[in-house]
Amino acid sequence: MKKWIWIIASGVTAIAAVNVQAQELSDMQQCLLDEMNSTKAETTIADVRSKCEEKLRSADDEDIVEVDAVEEPGALTNRMKREQITQFDPYVLTPHRRNYLLPFISSNNINRLRYADVEGYQENLEDHEAKFQVSFKIPFNREGFLFEDDQLFFGLTIQSWWQLYSSNISKPFRETNYMPELFYATSTGWHPFGTNTALVFGVEHLSNGRSQPLSRSWNRGYMQFVVEKDRFVFSLKPWLRFQEDPKTDPMQSSGDDNPNITDYVGDYEFTTAYNDGDFEYILRLRHAIDTGRGSAELNWTFPIGGKFIGYTSIFTGYGESLIDYNHKQTRFGIGIALNNIL
């Protein structure tokens, strides 16, 4: 009961104040059209877009001032504005979470015991492997859905752990997690202490797509409260699990694969992010109210040139993947990413 009261109370508090400020897409579209009609032939599209973004930031038009509600847009708002330019382009997939490849990620305690029933796996799993994530979102509405600048999205995130260095078992994909979600983001004009704030409501399905005894899955609903100030973003995301029927036989396909998963992966997630223009730092903490378990993750990106950015990740605790939800380990990885969060 304590857990439910805490989560409901945090939700009621957050609902009172919501807003990530987003510029009307039509303003940007009109500016792009005007500039392309009047610009010189040698001017690039990137130059035109940059000029329009600067115009919209400095515009004193009354409607734009009302949208930004006096406060300056921060790093997350600016990302949203850039996404709005292309999110309905049929040749563009808009990033949701980070898209990355870690060709090397090590573990101080790889979960060999979980694969005891799979011939050859337990004794041949390596402590180091590769990991990648693909994540995108698709908007449903061009104009406001319920309010002027809210949006409804479908998102999909896929994470995979690849035993790239395990030659004795033919380099298998040890674990793959799928997370489709439906989420709604809305905004208001509330700016406590000079910040912008926002709420996101969503439902997520998390599954590793495996059969028994390795099947893991669960469903949850969440509310995410976001606070933005300049280059900083803070986020609190409590969730409630949708309960499933218990299993009478561990090998049956229906029923709850992991009844105690929130005791390990937590009941909420706190994230703080900072982007100085070249480097981005993200700290993510998860905590289980009843057991005190959870995890901590620190990510850092840095420029390396071209389309790619350098990416490092340190994780410690429970639930790095679904198969490892009740297994504690510390992991370090380094690789490349295609996009930042801010």
Catalytic residues: 205, 207
Residues whose CB falls within 8 Å of the CB of residue 185, separated by 6 or more in sequence, listed in order = 20, 150, 151, 153, 198, 199, 200
Tokens of 82: 């850039």
- Residue 210 among known ligand-binding residues: yes
Q: Which two tokens stand for residue 117?
A: 């029933």
Q: Are 130 and 105 in contact (CB under 8 A)?
A: yes
Beta carbons of 243 and 218 less than 8 angstroms apart: no
Phi and psi angles of residue 210, each rounded to the nearest 5 degrees, phi first: -105, 160
Is the separation of the CB atoms in 237 and 7 below 8 Å?
no
* Residue 257 marked in a binding site: yes
Residue 114 annotated as binding?
A: no
Known binding positions for Ca(2+): 170, 210, 215, 257
Known binding residues: 170, 210, 215, 257
